[in-house]
Chain A
């Protein structure tokens, strides 16, 4: 806590005041990657699935482990594509979701009602159905002022995944803004801030901190949902895994290859989940 001459948060410069209580330390990083028991359980799972496959493998064919290793680079490439889709969908979904979330607190009743209805509709529909919705109902090309723009399948998939993300981000934004006490709005009003100024300079800076953990959580959910694009016929990690299994035509590979795919996602999503928890604890009740 001892930073310079004072440890009273009010006396610190604004930026440092936010960071002051409990700095980022090794403990936080350990917490993100930590929890040894979870990793022990995981390693046990991976070893078990390979061991079961090795035990079943009683011929001269190449070992299960070697075969899994052979396909790993290909499946990892597919996984990178999943990640690319997740980042793109998150960007589109966040942009649209922030607008929709702000629409929900609009002073205009029609805007508020429409935003609320859209949020509820997209939030309560299954992701897969929305993905189908986008894949089938978006045109395969757009004609804008005589220029034809092709809409490839991956682009439509990004939009399809961005729809539920948009609705969830809207809820996060609305919830974050609502979590700021009314007193903040009232005191801003009494200081003659306009509504936009209040929102932009007083409410949002405080609310963003509370929105980040659920937003990251949503990103992890989206990353896991990107495997849905394999159902609508786009080549991703899931499709490539299935392809590898077809190419090898060996039933003993099913367990280890799918286990590897699960682990790939786990290794990516689990640190995000832990980081979310750490941030939630750090940002808890501080107004």
Chain B
């Protein structure tokens, strides 16, 4: 460990390539905090956006035309407006319309803080895409399969839970994976409202250590690595869920 730190210190001195997070404990701690925040933010948004997608896809099959129109409006609105403006809309506008609460120290704080709004905003944004993805998966399940379930005496909910959804989920896994990768990349927007995630942490490091070039490369490589881990996970999941002989 010390040897690596020493080598990077030598690199900075001899060649001016200053990867400060490799030898400076303070910079490293800041960078790692940013990395943890990004990972935590991504996981929270992934879970919530899948929940939004499932509920939305279920509501899209509702009998009431008003509910269906509401879901359609929600999906189209979040898909066709910039996520950054959505974030600003939530963080500045909706937050201002909500009441303030008193925290444990007696200070007046907004009901939801910036991290909370980032999670809500990105989950809704990615959730809108997930609704469409799940819907297309459900539509891809052959009608005959549903009829077969019905003839075997399954109720609507049962056939959805035991027959349609397991098949639909396998069909839409690749599209879901793409969207989740996109979601992880979108978490960088939280920089704009001061959430201390990876980009924010890196910006702090480079504005104090003046190593924009090096930090930028570290940053890009880190994001590509995070995405690679996610893609690897999704692919192994796809393999595990594969039903032999059933090619969706």
Which A positions have Cβ atoms within 8 angstroms of B?
A: 35, 37-38, 40-42, 44-45, 52, 56, 120-121, 124-130, 132-133, 136-137, 220, 224-228, 230-231, 238, 242, 245, 251, 254-255, 257-259, 261-262, 265-266, 269-270, 273
Closest A residue by C-beta to B190: A128
- B residues within 8 A CB of A258? 85, 88-89, 92-93
B96:A251 contact, CB within 8 angstroms: yes
- B residues within 8 A CB of A56? 97
Given contacts A231-B84, A258-B85, A273-B80, contact A37 B69 (CB under 8 A): yes
A121:B220 contact, CB within 8 angstroms: yes
How many chain B residues touch the partner (CB < 8 A)?
43
Closest B residue by C-beta to A225: B82
- Mark B169-187 against chain A: 1 for CB-CB distance below 8 A, else 0: 0000000000001000111
- A residues within 8 A CB of B224? 120-121, 124-125
Which of A38, A120, A126, A251 touches B72 (beta carbons < 8 Å)?
A38
Q: Does B70 contact A (CB under 8 A)?
A: yes
- Mark B134-177 against chain A: 1 for CB-CB distance below 8 A, else 0: 00000000000000000000000000000000000000000000
B223:A126 contact, CB within 8 angstroms: yes
- B residues within 8 A CB of A132? 199, 203, 216
- B residues within 8 A CB of A137? 212-213, 216
- B residues within 8 A CB of A230? 84
Which of A133, A226, A231 touches B192 (beta carbons < 8 Å)?
A231
Kindly provide the distance from the CB of B74 to the nearest chain A CB, expressed in whole angstroms: 7
Interface residues of B in 75-114 (CB under 8 A from A): 76-77, 79-86, 88-89, 92-94, 96-97
A129:B92 contact, CB within 8 angstroms: no
B73:A224 contact, CB within 8 angstroms: no
B77:A228 contact, CB within 8 angstroms: no
Kindly provide the distance from the CB of B128 to the nearest chain A CB, expressed in whole angstroms: 12
Kindly provide the distance from the CB of B90 to the nearest chain A CB, expressed in whole angstroms: 9
A35:B72 contact, CB within 8 angstroms: yes
Q: Does B189 contact A (CB under 8 A)?
A: yes
Given contacts A126-B199, A231-B192, A269-B80, contact A262 B89 (CB under 8 A): yes
- A residues within 8 A CB of B93? 254-255, 257-259
Which B positions have Cβ atoms within 8 angstroms of A?
A: 65, 68-70, 72-74, 76-77, 79-86, 88-89, 92-94, 96-97, 181, 185-189, 191-192, 199, 203, 212-213, 216, 219-220, 223-224, 227-228
A227:B82 contact, CB within 8 angstroms: yes
Given contacts A137-B213, A231-B191, A238-B84, contact A124 B223 (CB under 8 A): yes
Kindly provide the distance from the CB of A162 to the nearest chain B CB, expressed in whole angstroms: 16
- A residues within 8 A CB of B186? 126
A255 CA to B92 CA, complexed, in Å: 8
B77:A273 contact, CB within 8 angstroms: no
Kindly provide the distance from the CB of B108 to the nearest chain A CB, expressed in whole angstroms: 14
Q: List 27 A-B contacts (CB under 8 A).
A: A37-B68, A37-B72, A38-B77, A41-B76, A42-B73, A42-B76, A45-B73, A45-B77, A121-B224, A124-B181, A124-B227, A125-B185, A125-B220, A126-B185, A128-B199, A129-B199, A129-B216, A132-B203, A136-B213, A231-B191, A238-B85, A255-B93, A259-B89, A262-B82, A265-B81, A265-B82, A266-B77
Given contacts A258-B92, A262-B89, contact A227 B223 (CB under 8 A): no
A120 CA to B88 CA, complexed, in Å: 30
Given contacts A52-B97, A133-B220, contact A265 B80 (CB under 8 A): yes
A136:B212 contact, CB within 8 angstroms: yes
Kindly provide the distance from the CB of A75 to the nearest chain B CB, expressed in whole angstroms: 11
Given contacts A121-B220, A231-B191, A255-B94, contact A37 B81 (CB under 8 A): no
A52 CA to B97 CA, complexed, in Å: 9
| 20 additional contacts (CB under 8 A) given A42-B77, A120-B224, A265-B80 | A35-B72, A37-B72, A41-B73, A121-B224, A126-B186, A126-B199, A127-B185, A127-B188, A128-B191, A130-B220, A226-B82, A238-B88, A242-B88, A257-B93, A261-B89, A262-B82, A265-B81, A266-B77, A273-B79, A273-B80
B84:A129 contact, CB within 8 angstroms: no
